[in-house]
Amino acid sequence: MRSELCQLSIRELRERIEGGDSSVTEITQSFLDRIQQCDNKIKAFLTLEQESALAQAAKLDRELAEGKSGNGLLMGIPIAIKDNIVTQGVRTTCASRILEDYVPPYDATVMGKLTQNGAVLIGKTNCDEFGMGSSTENSAFFPTCNPWDLERVPGGSSGGSAAAVAAWEVPGALGSDTGGSIRQPAAFCGIVGLKPTYGRVSRYGLVAFASSLDQIGPLGKSVYDVAILLQAIAGADPKDSTSVARPVENYLSELDQGKDVKGLKIGVPKEWFGSALDRQIEQSIQAALEKLEGLGCPVVEVSIPQTEYAISTYYIIAPAEASSNLARYDGVKYGHRSAGQEDLESMFKCTRSEGFGEEVKRRIMIGTYVLSSGYYDAYFLKAGKVRTLLRNDYLEAFKKVDFLVGPTTPSLPFMMEEKKTDPLEMYLTDIYTVTANLAGIPGLSMPCGFSQEGLPIGLQIQAPHFQEAKLLRLAHALEEALDVQRPALAV
């Protein structure tokens, strides 16, 4: 039945399309019906492309009937895109008033790759403004709710993408991860989210927050779904000088070759297990580590000594880069412009005051301060040195082990408004995720259980640079071994 199609994974949907059991139009309409049914409660979408999605679906159905469709990895699969990834002809707001009516004249490279692979764009998802936040409460338009408990946050900043996948509104989505913005909401929403190695996926068309940290990545219901999305979007791009000209591995083949992970050595950083970690999360992670041992993976304790400085380092480097990147929003070329101003300086000031939210202003001010004369050496330069030390910690750890495994977040999904008035407490929710961005390595979050309250618990796996294939293989094996039983959604 069409109403059941929205509960299927990307893999299952592909099989139905390839077998002629369902049309692309039926599948697309099923997800649109689900969005109509529950998004007034979840509020995952900022822009819904209903008409164009159905038109694209009908076009793909005609091509399939005529045998002209090619072999796109995502042929006929509805996908949602975080609203800080530009889409030609489709409003891209970054969940900010300053870009409320901005319609890009071009596509991000990842959007072009999705289209080439036959994906159907369902819409653009809500996020924290310019990706700055950990709860999707910093959106200028409305907060997004967690599908497991509508009074709790879905995480952030890619909370809209994560919530949409978890609530069966789409089978897969793209987000961006600057300090945990894919992995943390994936953990809070009980799905899989991957931050690839910096340079593995093109950032062209990703609206910049912190250019040395930002990375686009996939979210899906399973490790396989995340692998197929990564397969579609990975690769070098001449439009992005930070993308790496390194061959893309066959991630799907790696998964299909088997789940034998025996002998892969697992490192557990002792710094990730302290008093701040929720007891239920710790118990769930320990149970997962026992499963890994049962699969033949030795588990040993390791150390990442600079972990205690990671949050401080991140919240110097990221705001500094944001201060520079967001200077372009001045009301001159595009975006919001304050009306009735008599001179250029007043127009600049009022445009930015009206257009940016509190958290964005806070980070711009922090970033401008640490870059200012007399403070650059004391803050920004020192943070860069600590970042190098942290990267060296990882290089040393990966000489001893193949992966690092631990919690994705220190706490369960928290209540709406619980941390919004305390920026420092909010920043600390990223304590286990920012390190991967600072070091440029890949990190994946996957469900490893549910709390007594029925809330998702996420486990994080980090790997050496460009080891996504091996990372996905381990996650796939662990996913099957855990076989997490999910309670009912709140919608």
Q: Which residue among 82, 124, 221, 419 is the active-site one?
A: 82
End-to-end Cα, the chain, rounded Å:
19
Smallest CA-to-CA distance from 140 within 322, 359, 313 is with: 359
HEC secondary structure over the chain:
CHHHHCCCCHHHHHHHHHCCCCCHHHHHHHHHHHHHHHHHHHCCEEEECHHHHHHHHHHHHHHHHHCCCCCCCCCCCEEEEECCECECCECCCCCCHHHCCCCCCCCCHHHHHHHHCCCEEEEEECCCHHHCCCCCCCCCCCCCCECCECCECCCCCCHHHHHHHHCCCCCEEEEECCCCCCHHHHHHHCCEEEECCCCCECCCCECCCCCCCCCEEEEECCHHHHHHHHHHHECCCCCCCCCCCCCCCCHHHHHHCCCCCCCCCEEEEHHHCCCCCCHHHHHHHHHHHHHHHHCCCCEEEECCHHHHHHHHHHHHHHHHHHHHHHHHCCCCCCCCCCCCCCCHHHHHHHHHHHHCCHHHHHHHHHHHHHHCCCCHHHHHHHHHHHHHHHHHHHHHHHHHCCEEEEECCCCCCCECCCCCCCHHHHHHHHCCCHHHHHHCCCEEEEEEEECCCCCEEEEEEECCCCCHHHHHHHHHHHHHHHCCCCCCCCC
Distance (Å, whole) CA 454 – CA 474: 26
Which residues, other chains included, contact 374 with Cβ-Cβ below 8 Å and sequence gap of 6+?
Answer: none
Q: Which two tokens stand for residue 404?
A: 């690092």
Q: Which of 158, 181, 202, 284 is catalytic?
A: 181
Longest dimension (CA), the chain: 71
- Exactly one of 157, 176, 243, 445 is catalytic; which is it? 157
Q: At 337, phi and psi to the nearest 5? A: -130, 125
Please state, in angstroms and rounded to a whole number, the distance separating the CA atoms of residues 48 and 38: 13
For residue 157, indicate whether it is catalytic: yes
253 is catalytic: no
What are the residues whose beta carbons fall under 8 Å from the beta carbon of 165, sequence distance 6 or more? 80, 171, 172, 173, 189, 191, 219, 220, 221
Return the active site residues: 82, 157, 181
